[in-house]
Amino acid sequence: MVPSPQKVKDALHERLLGHLTHPDPAYQALLQEYPSRGGKTLRGLLVVYAGLAHGATLEASLWAGTALELFQNWVLIHDDIEDGSEERRGRPALHRLYPMPLALNAGDALHGEMWGLLIRGLKEGLLGPEVLAEFHQVVHRTAYGQHLDLLWTLSGRLDLTPEDYLHLVAHKAAYYTAVAPLRLGALLSGKTPPALYEEAGLKLGIAFQIMDDVLNLEGDQAYGKELAGDLYEGKRTLILIRYLQEASPGERTRAEALLRLPREAKPEAEVRWLWQNLLVSGAVAWAKEEAKRLAQEGLGALIPYLDTLPGREATSHLQNLFTALVERRA
């Protein structure tokens, strides 16, 4: 019998925290800070149900799902430091709670624990080397996407197109959010992932990220991150790119001057001006339509293939999770 999403989530959370114990309680508190805050555990859930849908064992699927959640947590620690973020999962970012070098070191430690968990799985015969190779691909792709994101902000580049955004997000967020779980599910069962998984997964992952950008402007307390944080951090979102393309010369000049300032120098009144302009400009509505189109294309291509997999009950959960993913219900 396939366990429910809540049972899988609880199992992933228990394994994640259990893997981050240490005899030094202060150090353990640092390592467990982000995982203990909960979160959606979305990527781990996708891995588990993708594995079960392809015929992998529950133990192997949970092992790989826990490893991807470790990836998610150490990447968030580093991302928050690099972006100067204020909040994560409804609480201050780790580098706001602790001195930045300690937060950075905790992220490094979680990165190492991810590889340690994968190596143990390999030695115990739960995971094959191709699973570890996929995790290397996850790190490789995500790091390049983060490089582009940081480079555009640090260099003050604003002459970007929607295609530039799609290229960045395909690497930074979409691959590890939607493509990797599908590929890992196949690899865990000894199968070769079809090319469809990357093609459809990228569309679903990009749709997810676009809606995350929308929530950064329209979200409520349940969002868990600083509202308008993308503007303070100078993120080149699809919404912002569209707005700059459509804005009057005066508005564009004013917005670009604000975006080139470091976070600490951005006047709150100017950030609020740009925030409101984005909301009323039509750029948000346009971005939502782009996300909807990508989600429909991705799901339309993926679901017929998933219906051919042997684990029917797990496949049903997997489809529901992907639908919730793009609708931002997960």
pLDDT of amino acid 219: 76
14 - beta bridge partners? none
Q: Identify the CA nearest to 212 among candidates 114, 308, 307, 325.
A: 325
pLDDT of 318 strictly over 80: yes
Q: What is the tens place of the pLDDT at every residue in 200-248?
A: 999 999 999 999 999 999 976 556 678 899 999 999 999 999 999 999 9
How much is the pTM? 0.95
Q: Are strands 87-88 and 91-92 parallel, antiparallel or unpaired?
A: antiparallel
For 69, the 3-state DSSP assignment is helix
pLDDT of amino acid 266: 95
Q: What is the tens place of the pLDDT at every residue in 151-198?
A: 999 999 999 999 999 999 999 999 999 999 999 999 999 999 999 999
pLDDT of amino acid 227: 84
Q: What is the tens place of the pLDDT at every residue in 27-84?
A: 999 999 999 998 889 999 999 999 999 999 999 999 999 999 999 999 999 999 999 9
Q: What is the tens place of the pLDDT at every residue in 295-311?
A: 999 999 999 999 999 99
The residues, ordered by sequence, that sit 6+ positions from 51 with a Cβ below 8 Å of its Cβ are 57, 58, 60, 61, 64, 65, 184, 185, 188, 189, 314
pLDDT of 122 strictly over 70: yes
At 302, the amino acid letter reads: L
User: What's the whole-number mean pLDDT along residues 276-290?
Assistant: 96
90 confidence band (pLDDT: 50, 70, 90)? confident
pLDDT of amino acid 225: 72
Query: Exposed, middle or buried: residue 163 (CB in 10 Å: 0-12, 13-18, 19+)?
Result: exposed
pLDDT of amino acid 305: 97
pLDDT of amino acid 39: 84
Residue with tokens 């620690």: 77
Instruction: Write down all domains in the chain, each with its CATH number in brackets.
Output: 5-326 (1.10.600.10)
Residue-averaged pLDDT of the chain:
95
